[in-house]
Amino acid sequence: MNFFKYQGTGNDFVLIDDREATFPAGNPALIARLCNRRFGIGADGLILLQNDPDSDFRMVYFNADGREGSMCGNGGRCAVRFAQDLGVIQDSTRFAAVDGEHLASVCEEEIFLKMGDVAGLEAHTDYDYLDTGSPHVVAFVHELKDFDVFEKGQDIRYGPEWVDRGGTNVNFVEVLDEQTLFVRTYERGVEDETFSCGTGVTACALAAHVRWGMNDPIDVRTMGGPLRVSFERGEENTFSNIYLIGPAKRVFEGTILL
């Protein structure tokens, strides 16, 4: 099988051209093996690019554990870059994903990816919760570079409240200045900290706007590099015209025996 490896701010993915619908998507053990960093290609997830009758292509995303996942923002940008590299699109696209239709445009090194509208935000004393295509807890902390993201993230991820609600990703955020956040994320499905999480960065930016009054575009630093988020706020903490903006790059290609 031919495959391609892409990364968006260090969030890395195996990309497969599945327009002929030949990939065994119903085999989670195979997908997990391909994503394994010691015995496979190594990635935070796997993405199929498929034909779609109503859009330029369909993006199907699988977590590193082999199960089909919810929307992935960094993966979405990588899928757009992949589609452009394949000649499926030029500089703009409309594509389908698990959470619906997305628009995107390519501007040299950056991909402008329109995310789905956000219906609301749960504000709690110590954290916020919202769904940006994937569910996210957002907790604001100090001295994030020394924070134990794995242990604290795992504790929240597997806490009874979140298990009962179907699971969540967990983001820890430090406000660096009036327009900049530093974000580290524990991702479900990967079950570890990743270098970046696109839907998580989006959730953190929206939460920072509500909690701290930060205006768009909000710059976000991640372990894998910089992103930014623009948006429009509606009534009762609803958001629309949300764009996740950042790089997506091809790393290498190869073949692997299934």
Burial of 211 (0-12, 13-18, 19+ CB in 10 A): middle
35 is catalytic: no
In the chain, pLDDT over 90 holds for what percent of residues?
Answer: 98
Average pLDDT, the chain: 97
Cβ–Cβ contacts within 10 Å for residue 192, how many? 15
What is the model's pLDDT at position 218?
A: 98
Contact 180, 226 (CB under 8 A): no
Q: Domain check: are 47 and 149 in the same one?
A: no
Model confidence at 258: pLDDT above 90: no
Backbone angles phi, psi at 37, to 5 degrees: -80, -10
DSSP code for 30: H
What does the alpha-carbon distance between residue 180 and residue 71 come to, in Å, rounded to a whole number? 24
**Residue 185, CA distances (Å) to 26, 150, 182, 224 in order:** 28, 9, 10, 11
Q: Domain check: are 178 and 227 in the same one?
A: yes
107 is catalytic: no
The residue range of the domain holding 135 is 122-246
Write the DSSP assignment of 171-197 as a string of letters. Answer: EEEEEEETTEEEEEEEETTTTEEES--
CATH number of the CATH domain containing 60: 3.10.310.10
pLDDT tens, residue by residue, 33-85: 999 999 999 999 999 999 999 999 999 999 999 999 999 999 999 999 999 99
**Residue 15, CA distances (Å) to 76, 85, 144, 196 in order:** 11, 12, 32, 18
DSSP code for 115: P
Q: Domain check: are 104 and 167 in the same one?
A: no
Query: What is the number of structural domains in the chain?
Result: 2
Q: Which of 35, 78, 197, 204 is catalytic?
A: 197
Q: Domain check: are 188 and 134 in the same one?
A: yes
Q: Domain check: are 234 and 142 in the same one?
A: yes
pLDDT bracket for residue 226 (50, 70, 90):
very high
Q: Domain check: are 151 and 49 in the same one?
A: no
